[in-house]
Amino acid sequence: MVTEARSGVLLFNLAATLARVAAAFILAMGFGTVIGVLMGRHRAVDRIADTWVVILLNLPALVIIVLAYVWVGLNEIAAIGAVALNKLPNAIVTVREGARALDRELDEVAQVFRMSRWVRLRHVLLPQLAPYIAAAARSGLSLVWKIVLVVELMGRSNGVGFEIGVAFHLFDIRLLLAYAIPFVIVMLAIETLLVQPFERHVARWRFRPA
Amino acid sequence: MSHAGDSGRLDVAVESLSLPQASGATRQILGSIRFALGLGEIAALVGPSGCGKTTLLRAIAGLIGVQDGQVRLPREGRLGFVFQEPRLLPWRDVEANVRLAAPEASDSECDAIFSTLGLTEHRRDFPASLSLGLARRVAIARAFAIRPDILLLDEPFVSLDTALALRLRHELMALIEARNVTSLIVTHSVDEAIVLADRVLILSNRPARLIADVPIAMPRDKRDAARIAPIRAEIVTHLSAN
């Protein structure tokens, strides 16, 4: 572990993986939220897209990854796209539940008081969706972590997944742990330093039992 | 809904309004209801429970469409609405709830409204920590902060204890009179209607028609139980006639 860290390879591979996680996560959450809200609010959109969501939801990650590499090529776009596509239906389904549960009474308040689109989005819509987005983010982040490694193992020449693949071929348990342990630490840090404070912030108005 | 006429004038000319029910059938809720309120006039809307008072208010606010007839609001008139439930944004504090609805309200205006309604100490509170009475006041503050030309109130004092309702009523009247706002108040209490309004509009059973329009000429501070008795009797007769 120390040798890998000293040479800078560990940091480089960790950074490559983190960048892929971040890109795939942002893509999946962004599209997932927009599509989820549209499906939750418009029955026609829901009917058209629902079959595709169910298909994507149940398609094995491996199938999507192989198809992406075969169709798009062995490149970064295919890698990130495949991960995002694996996470996307998950985000859609969760956010759609949130959009279905939106409070019509508050909608009417916004309408009567002629609130601007921005105010409606920022202060009426998003706070109602926040718990659902947070739930999608948490389950999604863990899914993205796992799938990014598989994607790297199969078709990338750097990243934690690639290095674990090398370790597997060499039966080098020390190398595997050298990557697995820092990876777990980074994951825990993101969970406690980013995800949890965000959740606390969006739930600050709730009445908490003492 | 069209916009025309003098600022502060409300013209309602509904012929009929039907709404789809949960069962899938369509049901007529409102029949013929025509009245006009002049600038600063305060009218109370009374009628049997479930007759369509709230529906009429929602139609005036443009929340539901009127199939036959029209509602005329003043040109570019601002509309303040106090819903039956306070309907505050639970994730924003009291002050933000008011300011998000009324981004143009100045600090001094907000201060004045908060102090009239006794909300100054609660500006930073979230709605979940407010009592129903306080939450109602915030809803009233929100409706006034937009400087409304027309104010619609849907049973603003229901399920409050008598003493609190009385105090809130005074605070509300102080605001309405100071700002000369044309107001329409839905209530099921005949006494409340008589104490608050210049006119009492009486609706029939569903589909609601306007069956009487009773003016109350007496000055508001002279309306004690003995003096209002004859008007009260008249209104109760109308209500029980249908």
Question: Is the CB of residue B101 less than 8 Å away from at least one CB of chain A?
Answer: yes
CATH number of the domain located at residue range(s) B38-62+148-241 in this protein = 3.40.50.300
User: Domain A2-202, what fold?
Assistant: MetI-like fold (1.10.3720)
> What CA–CA distance (Å, rounded) separates A175 from A177?
5
pLDDT for the residue B241: 77
pLDDT for the residue A14: 86
**Residues of chain B found within 8 Å of residue A108, distances taken between Cβ atoms:** 63, 83, 87
Q: Which candidate, A191, A162, A202, places its Cα nearest to that of A179?
A: A162
Band of the pLDDT at A5, cuts 50, 70, 90?
low
The predicted model scores a pTM of 0.80
pLDDT for the residue B2: 45
**Which of B91, B95, B150, B152 would you mutate first to test chain A, the one with the most A CBs within 10 A?**
B91
For B163-176, the pLDDT digits (tens) are 888 888 888 888 88
**B148: preceding bond cis by omega (within 30 degrees):** no
Q: Closest Cα of chain B to A8: distance in Å?
A: 46
Contact assignment for B87 to A119 by CB distance below 8 Å: no
- A95: amino acid identity, one letter: V
Beta strands B150-154 and B79-82 are parallel
A39-63: string of b/e by CB count within 10 Å (b at 16+)? Answer: bbeeeeebeebeeebeebeeeebee
Question: Is the CB of residue A102 less than 8 Å away from at least one CB of chain B?
Answer: no
Band of the pLDDT at A146, cuts 50, 70, 90?
confident
For B55-100, the pLDDT digits (tens) are 899 888 888 887 777 777 766 678 899 999 999 999 999 999 999 9
Band of the pLDDT at A209, cuts 50, 70, 90?
low
For A58-90, the pLDDT digits (tens) are 988 889 898 999 898 888 889 999 999 999 999
> What CA–CA distance (Å, rounded) separates A84 from B89?
33
Contact assignment for A108 to B89 by CB distance below 8 Å: no
Q: Closest Cα of chain B to A115: distance in Å?
A: 6
Report the DSSP beta bridge partners of residue B183.
Answer: B42, B151
**Residues of chain B found within 8 Å of residue A202, distances taken between Cβ atoms:** 91
pLDDT for the residue B74: 66
Can you read off the two tokens belonging to residue B52?
Answer: 């369509």
**Residues of chain A found within 8 Å of residue B139, distances taken between Cβ atoms:** none
Looking at the partner chain, which of B79, B89, B127 has a beta carbon nearest the beta carbon of A112? B79
B 109-128: CB under 8 A from A: 126-128
Chain-centre distance for alpha carbon B180: 14
pLDDT for the residue B1: 45
**Residues of chain B found within 8 Å of residue A205, distances taken between Cβ atoms:** 90-93, 126-128
Contact assignment for A105 to B89 by CB distance below 8 Å: no
Q: What ipTM did this prediction achieve?
A: 0.81
Q: Closest Cα of chain A to B129: distance in Å?
A: 7
Question: Is the CB of residue B102 less than 8 Å away from at least one CB of chain A?
Answer: yes
> Could you state, in order of their start, the residue ranges of all structural domains in chain B?
38-62+148-241
Question: Is the CB of residue B144 less than 8 Å away from at least one CB of chain A?
Answer: no
Contact assignment for A205 to B128 by CB distance below 8 Å: yes
Band of the pLDDT at B229, cuts 50, 70, 90?
confident
Per-residue pLDDT at B152 exceeds 90: yes
